[in-house]
Chains A and B, each alone.
Chain A
């Protein structure tokens, strides 16, 4: 474990010094200031969404969530492919370091940064909510906790892609596509389960549904979908009814992705 922590610390230093983390933290703070301005300026809120309160919360769910997603991709796209292709990994793997330890160290560093960013965003939004006199309470923290888990899943998928392809930009795009495809596949699978889609296409969709990541559902997001009457959205999210089963599935997917990454890294040549 000492080796993994040493490698993870080095990877965190890499991201911090490459100013990637500082960029996203800076953007978060900037966005936070914007949200504070919006929440204090009630006329602007009224003009934009026809409501005097809640605009900051609405914006937060899209703007900051999107930014956290970008951050997760950015800190994981270089995890395996680049250090193996440019030879940076060679000297470390010539040490008594197992390849899975190397991969796990870099993976944990990316995950720790993403979880830290989610915590920062949650704290920021708690502040904005207080200014808006709107207390989302546990739902806000629950939202960012599920978001942190989902982004760890995105980190693991992007890292897996970076073990498959040398080009970090391609790894980032494919990782992001696989992660975001899960909502579309879930919606299609809903049509399969309700009998509206069948045959060969239905079988393909079913196979894809089992292969795509299962994300945790934010209490806030589900609440909003249900309030807005988006029955398809809500139903596709609830394809797995039991909370426990949903968590077990999501965790299993995360573990499987990590194990697959280890297997690929084990076979990589330097």
Chain B
């Protein structure tokens, strides 16, 4: 079976900064819900951006479904919610989804139906006309809606529940559960460890640009402990 994500020797150095990635090797299998955990500045967002060729790695290779990510075709069937989503202010939510639907090549006759479905699911069907007038939570819900356009095989979620109220967070959890049921691969980058523990079947903990530990969730968290205590212990040990 082809891995959804295959990362080998990934190094990313920023000029005039210590932050980055320092040799990451990682394989995420198809259908896994994979958590990427780590303290602030560990390199999680850098890693996610390298997975989408938004950042050019200093060295190493990244493949999505067996194709090098530098090829745009590798990003077909990939949905992404960034940490701070930003849409063109002058478009409406519907137009944003239409633009993304066209970019991923959804058939024109089906597009309106798919968009209606996504807007209702994101509770944005009666949202203000322009994205400019959206609240932070609405922008995040729109980001989730665009990421799920066209039933992606791989979804990368960078802090998807930030800025969301409890109902919004529950909706995101439900959407991740649906993706898992559909057999899609999800890479989740979140600080909400209780959510991660509930949703993810595999995890990696990143610290100072390196993976400290990785594996199935039930192996990482021994019985009687929770993910938070395991995470804190590991980071404190790695930091010392």
> Do the two chains belong together in a single complex?
yes
* Chain B positions 138-152 with a Cβ under 8 Å from a chain A Cβ: 143, 146
Residues of A within 8 A of B52 (CB): 93-94
- With the chains together, A267 CA to B57 CA distance in Å? 11
B54 and A270: CB pair below 8 A?
Answer: yes
Contact bitstring A76-91, B, C-beta under 8 A = 1, else 0: 0000000000111011
The 4 closest A-B pairs by CB, nearest first: A17-B90, A87-B86, A270-B54, A94-B80
Give the secondary structure class of A's interface.
helix
Contacting chain B: which of A6-14, A110-118, A154-162?
A: A6-14
How far is the CB of A32 from the nearest CB of chain B, in Å? 28
B90 and A269: CB pair below 8 A?
Answer: no
The answer to whether A98 has its CB under 8 Å from any CB of chain B is yes
How far is the CB of A251 from the nearest CB of chain B, in Å? 28
- With the chains together, A14 CA to B132 CA distance in Å? 12
On whether A270 and B86 interact (CB within 8 A), knowing A3-B103, A6-B103, A97-B103, the answer reads no
On whether A94 and B75 interact (CB within 8 A), knowing A88-B86, A88-B87, A270-B55, the answer reads yes
The answer to whether A18 has its CB under 8 Å from any CB of chain B is yes
Residues of A within 8 A of B99 (CB): 6, 10, 92
B54 and A95: CB pair below 8 A?
Answer: no
Residues of B within 8 A of A98 (CB): 72
Interface size class of B (residues with CB under 8 A): 20 to 34
B80 and A97: CB pair below 8 A?
Answer: no
Contact bitstring A5-35, B, C-beta under 8 A = 1, else 0: 0110010011001100000000000000000
Residues of B within 8 A of A14 (CB): 88, 90
Number of A residues whose C-beta is below 8 Å from B?
Answer: 25
Residues of B within 8 A of A90 (CB): 54, 82, 86
Contact bitstring B83-105, A, C-beta under 8 A = 1, else 0: 01111101100010001101111
- With the chains together, A88 CA to B104 CA distance in Å? 17
Cross-chain pairs A/B with CB under 8 angstroms, 26 sampled: A2-B102, A10-B99, A13-B90, A14-B88, A18-B90, A86-B86, A87-B82, A87-B84, A87-B85, A87-B86, A88-B86, A88-B88, A91-B80, A91-B85, A92-B103, A93-B52, A93-B53, A93-B54, A94-B54, A94-B80, A95-B75, A96-B72, A96-B73, A96-B75, A97-B103, A98-B72
Instruction: Identify the B interface with A (CB < 8 A).
Output: 49, 52-56, 72-76, 78, 80, 82, 84-88, 90-91, 95, 99-100, 102-105, 143, 146
Instruction: Identify the A interface with B (CB < 8 A).
Output: 2-3, 6-7, 10, 13-14, 17-18, 86-88, 90-98, 101, 267, 269-270
Residues of B within 8 A of A86 (CB): 86
Closest to A3 in B: B103
Closest to B104 in A: A95
Question: In the complex, given contacts A14-B90, A94-B75, what are 18 additional A-B residue pairs having Cβ atoms less than 8 angstroms apart?
Answer: A2-B102, A13-B90, A13-B91, A87-B84, A87-B85, A88-B86, A88-B88, A91-B86, A92-B99, A92-B103, A93-B53, A94-B52, A94-B78, A95-B104, A96-B73, A96-B76, A101-B72, A267-B56
Residues of B within 8 A of A92 (CB): 99-100, 103
B88 and A95: CB pair below 8 A?
Answer: no
- With the chains together, A87 CA to B102 CA distance in Å? 20
- With the chains together, A90 CA to B80 CA distance in Å? 10
B88 and A10: CB pair below 8 A?
Answer: yes
- With the chains together, A237 CA to B82 CA distance in Å? 51
- With the chains together, A94 CA to B77 CA distance in Å? 10
Q: Which of B53, B54, B80, B104 has the most CB of A within 10 A?
A: B54
